Amino acid sequence: MSIHKEGYVSIVIAFLIGLAPALIGDYLQAPIWFNAILFVLGCVLIGLVLNFFRNPTREITLDNNCIYAPCDGKIVVIEDVIEDEYFKEKRKQISIFMSPLNVHVNRNPVAGIVRYFQYHAGKYLVAWHPKSSTENERTTYVIQALNGKDILLRQIAGAVARRICWYVNVGESVQQGEEFGFIKFGSRVDIFLPLDIKIKVEMGQKAIGGKTILATFE
């Protein structure tokens, strides 16, 4: 277990915000019980931030026939939709909602070549809002898998999330299970798959990034 690099600044800020009131109260000779409450609340804040930016080590079982979950969270959508940014035709969509308590590392579901990437500025609707995938701040990321089929991922910022991070460039090769991004403080990832894949998850199921098999190629 380690702390993700995206959390370093936030953790320093959490320490300053969390411990400063208690130190100031002690300096001003506030009652001991009052300082104790401030100290406990500060420790809770620091603990929550440390927990959010945790980055557990995971052994990935490479399998070119499997499409792994790109993140931890809860399966909230499984349906056929028209993807109108890149494919402009029907695809199988699976969406995973990440609460602030989930690990927020985003991982490649397959190995392949990055064929498309686009960042979109936007709103900050709650991540489960139907329009969040088209109106919120988001990225669109397409991997051409080793079998030639394209997989599209969309990182979506939520009402709390205010920063999407990504580490990929068009034309580069990516490995299954390695990090491609991070979303801070609650969010969602959509994945758009070919219609002829075989779904291996169900609504409401908890997914683990790089571990849970969402689907397999037929």
Enumerate the active-site residues: 187
**For residue 37, how many other CB atoms are within 10 A of its CB?**
15
**For residue 77, how many other CB atoms are within 10 A of its CB?**
17
Cα distance between residue 69 and residue 95, in whole Å: 10
**Strand runs labelled E in 12-128:** 54-55, 66-68, 73-83, 89-98, 105-107, 112-120
- For the residues of 159-209, what is the DSSP string, one character each? SS---EEE---TT-EE-TTSEEEEESSSEEEEEEE-TTSEE---TT-EE-T
User: Looking at beta carbons, which pairs linking 119-125 to residues 24 or more positions away fall under 8 Å?
Assistant: 119/164, 119/166, 122/157, 124/157, 124/158, 124/159, 124/161, 124/162, 125/158, 125/159
